[in-house]
């Protein structure tokens, strides 16, 4: 009887240990998956911003020399016959060709620059907001602290087309806290988040002295 009791006790201990390890493994997978999803969304936002900035830079005409198209390389063989013909005709024709070239250049480059600026502005307006922007706006609109689950539920109802998970929202909030764009507070075992201005405004209102009696 003692051997059977010890065997069942060992089995129950191993079963409890395996269950605890499985639960810990599952939570760790969810945490890492949430961090990866948040990083991928941040990377996509940075890539989108990079494209917009490059378009603006090209529209303003401040792109570096290495970014210019290689069109002049195709017209390299052309100057050889031009030098022979201009040598025969004299310097008068050279001056005329230079003047005509300088007059025609601004008209050719003005239209594409304006069109690029318009396209860039339209692309910036139509680009959907990232999860980081949605979380930051939601915190700024709240007057009380909110948990990651509450924020995820609200954003999921507001944006049903986006698969917003609590783990991803929590990772995004921790990233905002690390960049001083959000503040974190604990109430018992729960963690709540607020916008930086929300907590900074309340102490200042309490510290303001009462107006003196006339």
The mean pLDDT value of the chain amounts to: 74
The residue ranking higher by pLDDT, 7 or 88, is 7
* 164 phi/psi in degrees, rounded to 5: -95, 120
* 144 phi/psi in degrees, rounded to 5: -130, 155
Beta-bridged to residue 192, according to DSSP, are 185
205 found inside a domain = no
84 found inside a domain = no
151 found inside a domain = yes
104 found inside a domain = no
38 found inside a domain = yes
Mean pLDDT, to the nearest integer, of 133-158?
89
141 found inside a domain = yes
Q: What is the pLDDT of residues 54-75, one digit of tens each?
A: 988 888 886 554 444 444 444 4
Q: Which domain holds residue 148?
A: 2-45+129-200
106 found inside a domain = no
DSSP label at residue 65: G
Handedness of CA 186, 188, 192, 197 (dihedral sign): negative
Whole-number Å distance between alpha carbons of 48 and 59 = 17
Please provide the distance, in angstroms rounded to a whole number, between the alpha carbons at the two ends of the chain: 92
CATH number of the domain where residue 41 is located: 1.10.10.10
pTM (2 decimals)? 0.39
Whole-number Å distance between alpha carbons of 143 and 157 = 19
Mean pLDDT, to the nearest integer, of 110-132?
67
Domain count, the chain: 1
187 found inside a domain = yes
Q: What is the DSSP string of 35-51?
A: HHHHHHHHHHHHHHHHH
Q: How confident is the model at residue 99 (pLDDT cuts 50, 70, 90)?
A: low
């Amino acid at each position: 009887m003692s051997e059977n009791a010890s065997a069942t006790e060992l089995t129950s201990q191993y079963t409890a240990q395996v269950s605890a390890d499985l639960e810990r493994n599952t939570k760790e997978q969810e945490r890492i998956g949430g961090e990866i999803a948040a990083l991928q969304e941040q990377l996509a936002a940075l890539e989108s911003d990079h494209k917009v900035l490059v378009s603006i830079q090209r529209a303003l005409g401040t792109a570096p020399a290495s970014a210019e198209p290689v069109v002049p390389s195709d017209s390299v063989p052309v100057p050889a016959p031009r030098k022979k013909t201009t040598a025969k005709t004299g310097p008068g024709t050279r001056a005329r060709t230079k003047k005509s070239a300088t007059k025609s250049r601004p008209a050719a480059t003005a239209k594409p620059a304006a069109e690029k600026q318009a396209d860039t502005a339209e692309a910036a307006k139509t680009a959907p907001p990232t999860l980081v922007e949605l979380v930051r706006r939601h915190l700024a609109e709240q007057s009380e602290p909110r948990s990651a689950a509450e924020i995820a539920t609200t954003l999921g109802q507001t944006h049903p087309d986006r698969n917003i998970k609590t783990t991803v929202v929590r990772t995004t909030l921790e990233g905002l806290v690390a960049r001083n764009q959000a503040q974190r507070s604990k109430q018992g075992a729960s963690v709540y988040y607020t916008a930086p201005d929300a907590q900074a405004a309340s102490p200042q209102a309490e510290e303001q002295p009462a107006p003196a009696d006339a």
